[in-house]
Chain A
Amino acid sequence: METREDAAVPLSFELNGETVAVRAAPAARLLDVLRGPCGRTGTKEGCGEGECGACSVLVDGRVVNACLYAALDVEGCRVTTIEGLHDGAGGPSALQRAFVTLGGTQCGFCTPGMIVAAEALLAANPDPAADDIRGALRGNLCRCTGYVQIVEAVRSAAAARRAGADAARAAAGAPS
């Protein structure tokens, strides 16, 4: 669905660290606002009914399906999409690197949602077992990979992040 200008109301939130102000209809989905007026097409629509996870984004750090989330509900919230996940210097994050190197992406259509969901998992659990990863990604469908290399990529990225965090702590002289 696209929004009708006439019924739209102002909406302001933080998107990938930037404040955005747009107009959205009361019934608009977050997905349409992100892909439309915000111009962030990295978030995909695979089903529009909460079944595939291609539209996964973070709202205040929590994974949601943007296809079911009312746009107006992110007023004042912090929204993170795939475009907002990087290493801090605009380069790929550990997860993004691992997905490429280990075969976690094929057609790539599920990949943004998959990486966003994996990001939320690693934030909550820095050292997930394979079963934790599969459980956390069960709402994200992928038709190409059979998930094996996705799970490998998430494990490898988790290890890289832990090593990075250890290194950072060591550099700061903090006790590990």
Chain B
Amino acid sequence: MSAARDAAGRTWVGRAVDRPDGADKAAGRTLYIHDITRPGMLHGKVKFSADAHARIKRIDTSRAERLPGVRAVITAENTPQIRIGFLRDNVVLKGEKVRQFRDEIAAVAAVDAATAAAAVELIDVEYEPLPGVFSPDEALAEGAPLVHETAPDGTPLTTNAMSLTFGHESGDMEAGMRAAVHVAEGTYSTPLIQQSCMGTAGCIAEFDTAGNLRIVAKTQIPFLAQRDFTRILPALGLAGRTVRVIVPALGGGFGTGLDTHPYEYISILLAWRTGRPVKIVYDRAEEFACLSPRQSSVTRVTQGCDAAGRLTFRRIDVVQDNGAYAAWGATYPSVMLLPATSLYRVPAVSFKAQLVYTNNPYCQAMRGYGNPEVTWPIESTLDDLAQAAGVDPLEMRLRNCNEPGEVTPMDLRVTTCGLRECLEKTGESLGWSEKRGRGSAPPADGARAHLRRGVGLASLIHVGGGGKIYRSDGSGIILKADDFGSVNVSYGGVEMGQGLHAALSVAVADAVGVRPENVVVNQTDTATCPWDVGTHASRGAFMACNAALLAAEKLRARIFAAAEDVYAEEVARNVAKARRRDASCEPPPPDVVAGARAADFDLRDGRLFLRERPADELTSVEFGRLLRAIHFRDAGTVFAVDAFYEPPTELPDWERGMGNLSANYAYGTQGAEVEVDTETGEVRILRMAAAHDVGRVLHPTALKGQIYGALAQGIGYALYEEVRTERGRVVNAGFTDYKIPTACEMDFPIDLHFVETNDPSGPFGAKGVGEPGLVPTAPAIANAIHDAVGVRITDLPITPERVLAALRAKRGEA
């Protein structure tokens, strides 16, 4: 599909138009869940467990109930049981046993937040402690205590290993191993980290008189949330009632909104119990300890190559600490399969993932969704392998580079692939050929002899055209043209800051033929927007703009057909007006006007004109005037069209790890130059380069923001971030002890380069870009550290202590 172009041949797509939500955000006028109130609203607060694994012997809520201002106290005792989660293994209010510190035991609704907080403190819980398991090793040991004694259907369980199976075997592994002249292997770990949205989680639930639920929720999946919440209505005696999910402005998402959460059901239960709107908003400590972090993982990787540095096999075994319950994040291995099987060309691949229940906080999705966890070991050992083979690491990657048209071992059908150019550009901007391998030479200045510099790089593959992990990966859209020439867009995906609405407004502007300021994107609301699976897998802009293109084509066709009836009259008005100014003005040829048919019209920047006479003012009609002429006449009409875009993808067979889950694949390479202080172990980033195959730039400002922002998160993941737990309790639940990058850490130049491969599946050629920016950051930095000081760090984050320990070990010290 091609876009409307202006007289100079330009499109709005690709231009740095101000994002539509920007002005209100900069003025402090945007409403987040924290800012919204409802008449008569109560404030809810959750009572969390004080033990990681224990039987609940008694819950005494009497003191809380007596506190003035308290309107309801709920527990498992006085509410219906509600099971949630990807495997339905999580009961919203725990009555018998707790399996993690953040387990929800009771909740209060009160007239204000302070009273609710005070009331929760008055709830007494008596526990009988049970032995717990706090790592996959402990959980899988013989005779380990069970986190879940039974499956949700009541079947007894005998192990903490989860029933989810993800695997992949392809090619001739034996032959691949025999053909390997060089082999590199290692065991790599990644920590629990917190998504750290600046706006914490929250919702407001309320019922109308008929029992229909309305919930304003900080979610990325309004329609799956609607399904989840609808499912519980029968338990409340409200079978057949409706659920409406409204999404406020999100203070960041990063994966936290991919599940429905216990606090949302608690808010619903409190609203049901009290008949009043109930708001629950997490404070920062709750967000850290009681939302759900990114999984920690341990990955064993072995890769081999022939004498020329061509990969012959790759084996990967991942163990993922899932925590106490399964969220969607338990399906990280579905995305781990991409780098495992398809990052570079590997003829034989084996991948296995084991997910384990423990008494740690249960984990959920975060940006990248398993991809960084596995790209980190793959790209780290690839450098080791290059060293063993005596091949330059960049050259090694180029020799194994993915190419357009390739079908990967997982059956991914690669349409376009800009990886080669990404690698080359990253090498160029790092000064690879001058700098690589020079790290060990001390800088000339003697006072800085303890500093070593190095460069490193790493690449990625990710889904770029949706990611089918649900039975539909589609998106609906409605475009409505109003009497004033504006187009309202109802789209069910979620703007969480990433710039979805920026991309969508330029795409709609081009696809329909109006100016971006005349595109109005409505608030996401399940009552007004058609179904969308959710804003994940970097799919938002790809899906929304593809759906918009389909709808715009229909809208234009309908408007052009209707225009046939009013066009001559509108041109006559133009002529009459022009004549009043200049009586000698020549009217257009009458047959051209009277004979104008739908196929003769075009619409650009809010102006309908004849394709043959694009610059002629007399034969063009302002869009709003045209719409009014069509509307306000006998048998008039208005325009609202819908479309549903389902990408040409398949739901993979996870046990075999086969299936083309995305319509295209995004590639990229990031490189780092670092300076390592051999006395303190500190790593300073001197510069970074990021080259990404984005298909086509839809909105340059938003796109850059996606990469810069993800890169900063990747740096946090690489160098500082870790949610620390002690026997399941989060001990650094705040920004005082959990450091994310500040402006001062981002003090180095970043070279961005966008490779435009114009993918045929992409709207205007674009691929998804939301997640790729943080996928290869950690291994790029780790490879640069190795280049600088010759040590291989295998655990994230790469703290000064870890670097020092590795340097000492290298020097043979204890």
Q: Show the binding face of A for B, using Cβ within 8 Å.
A: 1-2, 4, 35, 40-49, 51-52, 54, 81-83, 86, 92, 95-97, 99-112, 115, 130-131, 133-135, 137-151
B540-577: contact bitstring with A at CB < 8 Å (1 yes, 0 no)?
00000000000000000000000000000000000000
A81 CA to B29 CA in the complex, in Å?
12
A143 pairs with B196, CB closer than 8 A: yes
Q: Which residues of A contact B112 (CB under 8 A)?
A: 2
- Give B13-42 interface residues, CB cut-off 8 Å to A: 16, 18-19, 21-32, 34-35
Q: Which residues of A contact B252 (CB under 8 A)?
A: 107, 109, 143-144
Q: Which residues of B contact A143 (CB under 8 A)?
A: 195-198, 252, 254, 709, 713, 740
B747 pairs with A148, CB closer than 8 A: no
Q: Which residues of B contact A52 (CB under 8 A)?
A: 198, 284, 735
B193-211: contact bitstring with A at CB < 8 Å (1 yes, 0 no)?
0011111100000000000
B709 pairs with A106, CB closer than 8 A: yes
For B197, give its contact among A95, A107, A145, A150 (CB under 8 Å): A107
A44 and B34 in contact, given A107-B250, A108-B21, A134-B743 (Cβ under 8 angstroms): yes
Q: Which residues of A contact B29 (CB under 8 A)?
A: 42, 83
A50 CA to B451 CA in the complex, in Å?
34
Closest residue of chain A to B23 (Cβ to Cβ) is: A100
Q: How far is the CB of B201 from chain A (nearest CB, A)?
A: 12
B283 pairs with A142, CB closer than 8 A: no
A166 CA to B711 CA in the complex, in Å?
38
B348-387: contact bitstring with A at CB < 8 Å (1 yes, 0 no)?
0000000000000000000000000000000000000000
Interface hub of A95, A109, A111 (most chain B Cβ within 10 A):
A109
B70 within 8 A of partner (CB): no
B170 within 8 A of partner (CB): no
Q: Which residues of A contact B455 (CB under 8 A)?
A: none
Name 19 A/B residue pairs within 8 A (Cβ), A-sorted: A42-B27, A45-B34, A49-B735, A51-B736, A99-B22, A106-B497, A106-B498, A108-B30, A111-B25, A111-B28, A141-B198, A142-B198, A143-B254, A143-B713, A145-B712, A146-B712, A146-B713, A148-B708, A149-B705
A144 and B743 in contact, given A42-B28, A103-B704 (Cβ under 8 angstroms): no
Q: Which residues of A contact B25 (CB under 8 A)?
A: 99-100, 105, 107-108, 111
B735 pairs with A107, CB closer than 8 A: no
Q: Which residues of A contact B114 (CB under 8 A)?
A: 1-2, 4
Q: Which residues of A contact B24 (CB under 8 A)?
A: 108
Q: Which residues of B contact A149 (CB under 8 A)?
A: 701, 704-705, 708
Q: How far is the CB of B31 from chain A (nearest CB, A)?
A: 7
Closest residue of chain B to A25 (Cβ to Cβ) is: B114
Closest residue of chain B to A41 (Cβ to Cβ) is: B35
A2 pairs with B23, CB closer than 8 A: no
B31 pairs with A107, CB closer than 8 A: no
A144 and B22 in contact, given A106-B498, A109-B252 (Cβ under 8 angstroms): no
B584 within 8 A of partner (CB): no
B750 pairs with A110, CB closer than 8 A: no
B130 within 8 A of partner (CB): no
Closest residue of chain A to B195 (Cβ to Cβ) is: A143
Q: Show the binding face of B for A, using Cβ within 8 Å.
A: 16, 18-19, 21-32, 34-35, 112-114, 117, 195-200, 249-254, 283-284, 496-499, 701-702, 704-705, 708-713, 734-736, 740-744, 746-747, 750
A17 CA to B252 CA in the complex, in Å?
32
A148 pairs with B251, CB closer than 8 A: no
Closest residue of chain A to B750 (Cβ to Cβ) is: A148
A41 CA to B32 CA in the complex, in Å?
9
Q: Which residues of B contact A107 (CB under 8 A)?
A: 25, 197-199, 249-253, 496-497
Q: Which residues of A contact B743 (CB under 8 A)?
A: 133-135, 137-138, 140, 142, 147, 150-151
Q: How far is the CB of B565 from chain A (nearest CB, A)?
A: 41
Q: How far is the CB of B621 from chain A (nearest CB, A)?
A: 32
Q: How far is the CB of B438 from chain A (nearest CB, A)?
A: 27
Q: Which residues of A contact B750 (CB under 8 A)?
A: 146, 148
Q: Which residues of B contact A134 (CB under 8 A)?
A: 742-744, 746-747
A96 pairs with B734, CB closer than 8 A: no
A interface SS class: loop
A139 CA to B740 CA in the complex, in Å?
11
Closest residue of chain B to A111 (Cβ to Cβ) is: B25
A137 CA to B701 CA in the complex, in Å?
21
A96 and B26 in contact, given A2-B114, A44-B34, A150-B743 (Cβ under 8 angstroms): yes
For A106, give its contact among B34, B499, B713, B747 (CB under 8 Å): B499
A138 and B742 in contact, given A108-B21, A111-B25 (Cβ under 8 angstroms): yes
For B708, give its contact among A1, A35, A111, A146 (CB under 8 Å): A146
A99 CA to B24 CA in the complex, in Å?
11
Q: Which residues of B contact A1 (CB under 8 A)?
A: 113-114, 117
Q: Which residues of A contact B712 (CB under 8 A)?
A: 145-147
A43 CA to B498 CA in the complex, in Å?
21
Closest residue of chain A to B116 (Cβ to Cβ) is: A2
Q: How far is the CB of A116 from chain B (nearest CB, A)?
A: 9
A102 pairs with B113, CB closer than 8 A: no
For B734, give its contact among A47, A86, A108, A115 (CB under 8 Å): A47
A39 CA to B800 CA in the complex, in Å?
46
Q: Which residues of A contact B744 (CB under 8 A)?
A: 134-135, 138
The 5 closest A-B pairs by CB, nearest first: A42-B28, A107-B497, A108-B25, A146-B712, A109-B251
Q: How far is the CB of B219 from chain A (nearest CB, A)?
A: 14
For B709, give its contact among A100, A135, A146 (CB under 8 Å): A146
Closest residue of chain A to B715 (Cβ to Cβ) is: A146
A9 CA to B623 CA in the complex, in Å?
58
A149 CA to B23 CA in the complex, in Å?
16
A97 CA to B22 CA in the complex, in Å?
9
A30 CA to B490 CA in the complex, in Å?
38
A138 CA to B744 CA in the complex, in Å?
6
A92 and B113 in contact, given A52-B198, A106-B499, A149-B708 (Cβ under 8 angstroms): no
A49 and B496 in contact, given A147-B746, A149-B705 (Cβ under 8 angstroms): no
Q: How far is the CB of B706 from chain A (nearest CB, A)?
A: 8
B198 pairs with A54, CB closer than 8 A: yes
A141 CA to B735 CA in the complex, in Å?
9
B26 pairs with A92, CB closer than 8 A: yes
A42 CA to B29 CA in the complex, in Å?
6
B735 pairs with A48, CB closer than 8 A: no
A112 pairs with B497, CB closer than 8 A: no
A47 and B497 in contact, given A2-B114, A149-B708 (Cβ under 8 angstroms): no
Q: How far is the CB of B750 from chain A (nearest CB, A)?
A: 6
Interface hub of B16, B34, B284, B705 (most chain A Cβ within 10 A):
B705
A150 CA to B712 CA in the complex, in Å?
13
A92 CA to B26 CA in the complex, in Å?
8
Q: Which residues of A contact B28 (CB under 8 A)?
A: 40-43, 81-83, 111-112
For A105, give its contact among B22, B31, B710 (CB under 8 Å): B22
16 new A-B contacts at CB < 8 Å, known A49-B284, A92-B26, A137-B742: A41-B35, A42-B29, A48-B284, A49-B734, A95-B26, A104-B26, A107-B249, A109-B32, A135-B744, A139-B742, A141-B735, A143-B252, A144-B252, A146-B711, A148-B704, A150-B743
Q: How far is the CB of B541 from chain A (nearest CB, A)?
A: 14
A47 and B284 in contact, given A143-B198, A151-B743 (Cβ under 8 angstroms): yes
For A115, give its contact among B16, B26, B498 (CB under 8 Å): B26
